[in-house]
Amino acid sequence: MTSVNDLLQLLHLDSNSENQFQGLSKTVGSPNVFGGQVLAQAINAAYRTITNQRVLHSMHAYFLEAGNLELPITYDVGSMRDGGSFSVRRVTASQNGTVIFILSASFHKKEEGYDHQIEIPKNIKQPEELLSWSDMLEQFGEAIPPRTKGFLQIERPVEFKPVEVVDPFNKKDLPPSTNVWFKLKGDSSNLDLSQKQQILTYISDYNILAAAMNRHASKAHWGNTQTASLDHSMWYFRDFDFDDWLLYAIESPNASNARGFAKGNIFTRDGKLVASVAQEGLMRPLKK
């Protein structure tokens, strides 16, 4: 995938029935289906059953089994509630009859109310000052560890520019946080809100566990640690556009029992808080 159009094609599901949909997968460099893809496709399925113009405001999901890249994924949507203000959907994703993922999503009618938000982190380098993943691959390709290099070589519809770059050859623990700018490739001017939320959800599964790994960087890295998304929650606050860079500011309050927890806030460049994310992931040290 090289553009937003490729991503939209991946996230849009074929309809098997009124409440059942089917999608395919694309690799992001791992042997299993990318969690962000399943999250976004499940939201696409849930939105397809919303007929009252309500907007997604939160979702909570669990990853139960690793997805097979070669098999289609079937999404079954259950209508749990259509109340006066909120609609709730439950989505079950399966492959060959095995449930691999479940998601609950809540949709809300447009209402007026109080408004406040936290501020975007201060003194953050702007994207024009930073190298993208593609830039790093081009400039430092020969020095990048093979596993990381292979990951960076995958073509993506999103460009990432990390504010803090971890030096794999300088083994020291780092603060449990990371900040990453991101921007879609291609024309994103005609996206509706549901498409923007699906794409943002897809992107939200990138980078988030890195904040938990950073705290243990003197001994832990992606090559000696088994990682996987266990659950993922997201709250959607405000409409936005993808025509400029957005900042994903992530911190990890805890790691214990072979699990790491991280939470993040997504801001537009001018400081509007778009969404918040929370995830717990497997961080299991591999035995030699």
Q: What is the pLDDT of residue 199?
A: 98
Amino acid occupying residue 58: S
Mean pLDDT value across residues 137-157? 78
pLDDT tens per residue across span 214-236: 999 998 888 889 999 999 999 99
Distances (CA, A) of 186 to 12, 40, 191, 242, 278: 17, 19, 12, 10, 28
Mean pLDDT value across residues 284-288? 86
Phi, psi for residue 121 in degrees, rounded to 5: -55, 140
Residue 181, class by beta-carbon neighbours within 10 Å (0-12 exposed, 13-18 middle, 19+ buried)? buried
pLDDT tens per residue across span 168-178: 778 889 999 99
Q: What is the pLDDT of residue 134?
A: 87
Q: Which residue of the set 58, 197, 233, 279 is catalytic?
A: 279
Q: Which residue of the set 37, 198, 205, 252 is catalytic?
A: 205
Report yes or no on whether pTM surpasses 0.75.
yes
Domains and CATH numbers, the chain: 4-111+127-285 (2.40.160.210)
205 labelled catalytic: yes
pLDDT tens per residue across span 22-51: 999 999 988 999 999 999 999 999 999 999
Distance CA 169, CA 176 (A): 18
279 labelled catalytic: yes
Mean pLDDT value across residues 259-271? 98
3 labelled catalytic: no
Distances (CA, A) of 35 to 64, 102, 150, 234, 269: 11, 12, 19, 13, 26
Lowest mean pLDDT among 83-87, 216-220, 241-245: 216-220
Q: What is the pLDDT of residue 143?
A: 65
Distance CA 280, CA 115 (A): 28
Q: Which residue of the set 94, 95, 195, 229 is catalytic?
A: 229
